[in-house]
Amino acid sequence: MTNDKDLLFTALGGIGEIGMNAYLYGLDGDWLMVDLGVSFADDRLPGVDLVLPDIGFIEEQKGRLRGLLITHAHEDHLGAVPYLWPRLGCPIYCTRFAAAILRRKLEEAGVGSPATINVVEPGATIDLAPFSCRFLHVSHSIPEANAIAIETRLGRVLHTGDWKLDPAPLVGTTTDVDGLEAFGAEGVLAMVADSTNVLSPGTSGSEAEVRDSLKDLIKAQPNRVVLTTFASNIARLETAIVAGRAAGREIVMVGRSMHRMIDAAKEAGYLKDLPPLVDERDAMSLPRHKALFLVTGSQGEPRAALQRIASGQHPRVRIEAGDTAIFSSKIIPGNERTLYDLHNRLVDRGVEVITEEDHFVHVSGHPSRDEMASLYRWIRPTYAVPMHGEARHLHAHARFAEENGAKQAFVLQNGDLLRLAPGEPAIVGDVPTGRIAVENEDFVDAGDELFRTRRRLMNHGILTAAVALDPYGSLLAAPSVRSFGALDLGSFGNLSTEVEGAVESAIEDMDDKEVLNDGRVEHAVRGAIRQALALPRMKRPLIEVQVMRLSPESARGLEEERLGAA
């Protein structure tokens, strides 16, 4: 049981998954939200690109929502704001770079006002009573990532966001270790912490090391180079530009999100010394050995520039045999098949594909185990709550936390309501959660029958059967059974004839009363098809049955047509 005086934590997304981060802290009946991000759909949601958290729980209490804090500008932390913020209407707090990105996204979506975004300087504290929140800068693969230090009358919590320790981040400053240590020195009740790389030993590496490696790699390529990375990784974009210029190449940026991120970075005071970029309309006029294309699509996104280039459908950029494609990014879990298909398509065109498996072209933006151990030494939390990871990451992080001084770690699921204080922390209930699919600007419950049907069609296909009956339930013509993606009826000799014969027999065996009921006829036809095809249990195509009842006049006309044709 809970009451309004408890210090509570729950996640509407981001636990048990990598993406869709949306976290809530509650106290005295008020709530604080940290991040509101998207996830990218996989083949469980065919036809969908984006997935949002269901915010119905906090929407019902939006009058007590003190604010939304954005830790950084990655899509999985702020991408849902343009879609869902209008349902909340609360103040938004973030640092300058995230604000620049968010304003553009809100403007494109036609919602919100810049006045709703409050820009917070790193290190600053904001009073959202009963919460006091301080933004502590941490290194990540994007400028101005922050951990949130939360103080309440019942205890202090560190929400790490995404972070790492990079001694030379190139864009932005290093992690605020002094601030973290100072927060830890005053006692920390709980740390809600990133789990992404808990299975990786050592450290995550530095962006400066990647820059040196890419300089050598790009210089060694004989022809055109296409490099793709996350558009939000501003340091990597700068690295690629510096490496390209060092190799004597002109830089062409391809993809709207690349330009959006560069513009936002400049607005926030970064990338002041970038060399001029070549317009993509002039890309193919460059000598092959002088061109470096920076393109979107490092995760194989279907509408990104690299997919269109690889398929030869980009209107202004082409690649040829002998060119090189560099994937300066990590494969996000779940994207493996899509990316390998893209790699194969490039290789089939004679393009050399280079990934992090072949060359040192990427470092993670998340901490490996040595970095995590340092953070536990600095913060010394009594309790730990792993977040931002799948089940295997969360359980490994829980063990790691207890090995590194935490009294207890709590492995949660989205919706679990954790009472942090007073007393011993415990899961005391749950809140409604879910996933909302964005399709053609409409919101659809990701558990909706629509997607279950799509998955079944995708995996098993469909069989259709049409039967025409007279007013008394007698067949007027042979049933028609067709297959779409289920099995090839024509490849099994006279199977199609056998199936149609089984349908005909099933209808003729029905009694006079049942055959007048369309539902009973449909049931009998489905059963006859399944039995005739002897479908295994794992093969479950949709079977759609159309029953046509003809008037005496229509029946007579159809019969005359059949006799005339005979």
Residues 12 and 148 in one domain: yes
Whether 370 is in a domain gets the answer yes
Whether 455 is in a domain gets the answer no
What is the rounded CA–CA span in Å between residue 46 and residue 178?
A: 47
The residue with greater pLDDT, 509 or 145, is 145
Residues 141 and 252 in one domain: no
Query: Which pLDDT band holds residue 71 (cuts at 50, 70, 90)?
Result: very high
Decide if pLDDT at 536 tops 80: no
Decide if pLDDT at 152 tops 90: yes
Nearest Cα residue to 227 out of 306, 283, 300, 304: 306
What is the rounded CA–CA span in Å between residue 285 and residue 289?
A: 12
Going by DSSP bridges, is the β-strand pair 426-430/442-445 parallel, antiparallel, or unpaired? unpaired
What does the pLDDT read at residue 566? 47
Residues 17 and 86 in one domain: yes
Backbone φ and ψ of 380, nearest 5°: 50, 55
Of these ranges, 418-422, 465-469, 511-515, 551-555, the one predicted with the greatest mean pLDDT is 418-422
**Domains held by the chain: number:** 3
Query: Which pLDDT band holds residue 302 (cuts at 50, 70, 90)?
Result: confident
**Stretch among 319-333, 390-404, 461-475 having the lowest mean pLDDT:** 461-475
What is the rounded CA–CA span in Å between residue 89 and residue 111?
A: 11
Mean pLDDT for 208-212 is: 93
Residues 161 and 293 in one domain: no
Decide if pLDDT at 23 tops 80: yes
What is the rounded CA–CA span in Å between residue 365 and residue 169?
A: 10
Mean pLDDT for 423-439 is: 88
Whether 14 is in a domain gets the answer yes
| DSSP 8-state class, residue 231 | T
CA 225 to chain centre: 28
Going by DSSP bridges, is the β-strand pair 92-94/117-119 parallel, antiparallel, or unpaired? parallel
Pick from 378, 413, 445: which residue ends a domain? 445
Whether 450 is in a domain gets the answer no
Decide if pLDDT at 317 tops 50: yes
State the first-to-last Cα distance of the chain, in angstroms, to the nearest integer: 78
Task: Enumerate residues 6+ apart whose C-beta is below 8 A from 232.
Answer: 73, 74, 75, 141, 142, 261
Q: In the block, which residue shows the tokens 């399944």?
A: 530
Residues 550 and 401 in one domain: no
Total residues belonging to the chain = 566
Decide if pLDDT at 482 tops 50: yes
What is the rounded CA–CA span in Å between residue 129 and residue 151?
A: 10
Parent domain of 272: 207-354
Whether 454 is in a domain gets the answer no
Judge if the upstream peptide bond of residue 143 is cis by omega within 30 degrees of 0.
Answer: no
The residue with greater pLDDT, 273 or 4, is 273
Query: Which pLDDT band holds residue 49 (cuts at 50, 70, 90)?
Result: low
Residues 349 and 492 in one domain: no
> Residue 55 half-sphere exposure, CB side, CA atoms within 13 Å?
30
Residues 379 and 497 in one domain: no
Assigned token pair, 22: 């949306």
Using alpha carbons, list the distances in angstroms from residue 301 to 62, 104, 372. 34, 21, 31
Pick from 418, 445, 472: which residue ends a domain? 445
CATH value at residue 494 = 3.10.20.580
pLDDT tens for each residue of 218-248: 999 999 999 999 888 999 999 999 999 999 9
Decide if pLDDT at 148 tops 90: yes
Decide if pLDDT at 272 tops 90: no
Mean pLDDT for 486-508 is: 69
Residues 341 and 369 in one domain: no
Instruction: Determine how many CB atoms are found less than 10 A away from the CB of residue 456.
Output: 14
Whether 475 is in a domain gets the answer yes
What does the pLDDT read at residue 493? 47
Decide if pLDDT at 28 tops 90: yes
Whether 456 is in a domain gets the answer no
Residues 121 and 243 in one domain: no
Pick from 388, 418, 445: which residue ends a domain? 445
What is the rounded CA–CA span in Å between residue 131 and residue 150?
A: 6
Query: Which pLDDT band holds residue 459 (cuts at 50, 70, 90)?
Result: low
Decide if pLDDT at 89 tops 50: yes
Residues 145 and 187 in one domain: yes
CA max distance for the chain: 96
CATH value at residue 240 = 3.40.50.10710
Q: Is 561 exposed, middle or buried (0-12, 13-18, 19+ CB in 10 A)?
A: exposed
Instruction: Determine how many CB atoms are found less than 10 A away from the CB of residue 486.
Output: 20
Whether 68 is in a domain gets the answer yes
Residues 177 and 142 in one domain: yes
The residue with greater pLDDT, 111 or 254, is 254
Nearest Cα residue to 121 out of 81, 93, 160, 102: 93
Residues 211 and 198 in one domain: no
